Structure 1
Amino acid sequence: MKLPGSRGAVSGALIDVLAGEATDLPTGRAPDDDEDLQLALFVCYELAYRGWDGVDDAWEWHPGLLTLRAELEDHFSVGLRELTGPPVAADPADVPHLLAEIVAADDGPSLSGYLRGRATRGQFREFVTHRSIYHLREADPHTWAIPRLGGRPKAALIEIQADEYGGGVAPRMHQELFKQTMGWFGLDLAYGAYVDVAGAPTLAVNNLMSYFGLHRRRRGAILGHLAAYEMTSSLPNRAYANGLRRLGGDPAATAFYDEHVEADAVHEQIAAHDLCGSFAAAEPELSGDVLWGARCALAVDNVWARSLLGSWEHGRSSLRTASN
């Protein structure tokens, strides 16, 4: 993946260093704005995934870069707490029930309803473009949690992740199925091809998963994040599939969403009870973190959905251009 263009002083300085055009990392400097913050954090995190073209893999563990990443995470964490408040202790036995309450209380905008019934082909194409940042590495952020668990929670997470990775059959991997949807819209199938046009809300959705997944101390939060995704996925994916069919999408184009309708209906119960419930019983001190991870997942996704719908309602593209 090519290094993206800068969006401010911090992301620009970081990218220049990784590209070999500068030597001083921008530690101790506050990001200019959320675009600068989210891009800089995304660039740092990608070093732990598939990396950047021409950038030495050793940067992943470079002490100075980790210092910068920690500073950026502090800024990100402040924003998360402004959205959701801090983690709050909970009775481990109540975790599955409380997860269901969090999901039921979510009053975010219905992006799926808009895409099902009103979106133009161009708007749906933009939606798929945004989602490609995650779906071309779908499940990878949550997989970081596997070696940090044991017993029943570990087995439950592996059961979910095995489905995400197509049961070991490459064409059935959800990452691969999403390429079929992208192909129907004539999009570039290359991993990370659309980072430059994805705004801060889209990058924040991805950064949240990495922030939770890459830190062992956030293992409760990444499980809660996954549970929130699985518990709110089946109906929206049905809507996405029907919206694509309304626009003429063929079975290959809708296969990704159709797969999630069935799979996530099963995953919902596994995630709430076998994964998060058993994890909370095993590590009761992290029960609050599980619930916080779920709240963060829904809150950050709602910010992203509002950004798309707001753009479309004003007749604008939801994608970034060179001028913004």
Structure 2
Amino acid sequence: MLLPAPRGPLTAALFERLGRPPHAFDPPPVPAGGSVLDDEDLQLALFACYELHYRGFEGVNEDWEWELSLLAARKALERRFEDGLARAVPRPSPAPGVPMRRALAELIAADEGPRLSAFLARRADLEQFREFVTHRSIYHLKEADPHTWGIPRLSGVPKAALVEIQADEYGGGRVERMHSELFRATLRGLELDDSYGAHLDRVPAVTLAISNAMSLFGLHRRHLGALLGHLAAFEMTSSAPNHRYSLGLRRLGGDETARRFYDEHVQADAVHEQIAAHDMCGGFVAQHPARAGDVLYGAACALTLDRLFAEHVLDHWQRGASSLRETRLMAGSR
């Protein structure tokens, strides 16, 4: 993946540095105020910092990953992002004596986000479905990786539960069954570029914020509870929407190979939601009772960001506009 096109002064300064050999520098100032979750410049800058801990960028020296001045810049971005999340997501208070599985289920039941999956199943045209898949490629081509950071930080029942979930995400060791590979087949079926990071320039800040929240929770041990709650919310809200995505793609002519990613999640996540809620999150809270609120907060962040994403997409489609960034903003990005 190449560095994307800058979206403002933060990314312009950051990408100029990353194009050179690693060196110490003064972090660029992070503007205060404004909406963080839809700040294109901030979200892309943070995404790029996190990406250095995954596969990195072509032409960017790998030693940048642990360059102290870049970590200082990332820390400033993270503070703004965490503050924005805290403002957007009220922190749930765990009720005494309520099992974590039930608390998560009640949190999810109370969510009243727009039904993007219903629109895709019944009304979306082919170009809108292609847009949706383009957005999702940012996470699905690295599916499971952010949550895998939690494995070495756990022990006992919750660790075994997370390993069981992640083993399925990685196809049980068979490359053709890895969920990221199944999604690549969906991209190809829709005649979209299936290479890692190919659509980074096209997706807006809210799409990047979804991935950034996962990386934030995964890379910081203090956010372990939030990471587990985030994954649980993903698993517990996956089966029905993925069934509708498959129906929508079938309606639009998608073949079995293109739909397999969604069909696989209908089956796998029906099992995963039980493991995630009871064994992983319930087991973690049994070991660390004081961190029950962290688990619920991570789940609430997942639900809120997904709602904001759905609102963004549906609002644009209802106005007859693309939910992706304009092509003209991508000039010179490749």
Q: TM-score range by the shorter chain?
A: over 0.9
- Give the structure-2-normalised TM-score: 0.94
Gapped runs of 5+ residues in structure 1?
A: none
Paired position in structure 2 for 1:99: 104
| Runs (5+) with no aligned partner, structure 2 | 330-334
1:51-70 equivalences under 5 Å are: 51-70=56-75
Which amino acid letter does the alignment assign opposite residue 198 of structure 1? V
Query: Is the CA contact 2:52–2:65 (under 8 Å) kept in the aligned structure 1?
Result: yes
Residue 18 (structure 2) pairs with residue 28 (structure 1):
no
2:197 maps to 192
C-alpha contact (below 8 Å) 2:27/2:72 kept by paired residues = no
Cα distance in 1 for partners of 2:171, 2:156 equals: 23
The reply on whether 1:236 has 2:237 as its aligned counterpart is: no
Aligned mates of 2:126, 2:64 — CA distance in 1? 40
1:273 equivalenced with 2:278 (yes/no): yes
Can you list the C-alpha shifts for 1:268-290, whole angstroms capped at 9, x where unaligned?
10000000000000011211100
Aligned residues: 324
Identity of aligned residues (%): 57
Match of 1:9 in 2: 9
Deviation at 1:88, TM superposition (A): 3.8
**Alignment-derived partner of residue 292 in structure 1:** 297
Structure-2 residue corresponding to 1:175: 180
1-side partners of 2:328 and 2:65: how far apart?
Answer: 31
Q: Distance in 1 between matches of 2:69 and 2:95?
A: 37
User: SS of 2:310's equivalent?
Assistant: helix
- 1:140 partnered with 2:145: yes
Q: Is the 8 A contact 2:172 2:178 kept in 1?
A: yes
Q: Following TM superposition, by how much is the alpha carbon of 1:57 offset from its aligned partner in structure 2, in angstroms? A: 1.0
The question of whether the paired residues in 2 share the 8 Å contact of 1:109 and 1:305 is answered with: yes
Q: Which residue of 2 aligns with 1:163?
A: 168
After superposition, give the CA deviation of every residue in 1:90-115 in whole Å (9 maximum; x if it has no partner): 54752211100011111001000000
Is residue 91–residue 287 contact of structure 1 (8 Å, CA) maintained in 2? no
Deviation at residue 164 of structure 1 after TM alignment: 0.3
Q: Which amino acid aligns with 1:35?
A: E
Please point out which of 83, 91, 100 is paired with 2:88: 83
CA distance in 1, matches of 2:254, 2:327: 30
Contact residue 27 and residue 71 of structure 1 kept, 8 A = no
Aligned counterparts, 1:108-127, within 5 A = 108-127=113-132
The residue type equivalent to 1:15 in the other structure is F
Match of 2:250 in 1: 245
> What is the root-mean-square deviation of aligned Cα atoms in Å?
1.6
Question: Which deviations, in whole Å up to 9, do the C-alpha atoms of 1:184-241 show, x marking residues without a partner?
Answer: 1111111000000010010001101000001011000000000000000000000000
| TM-score, length basis structure 1 | 0.96
Tell me, yes or no, if the aligned pair for 1:13 and 1:25 is still in contact at 8 Å: no
Contact 2:22 2:64 in 1 (8 A): no
Q: How far apart in 2 are the matches of 1:89 and 1:6?
A: 41
Q: Distance in 2 between matches of 1:57 and 1:166?
A: 28
SS in 1 for 2:44: helix
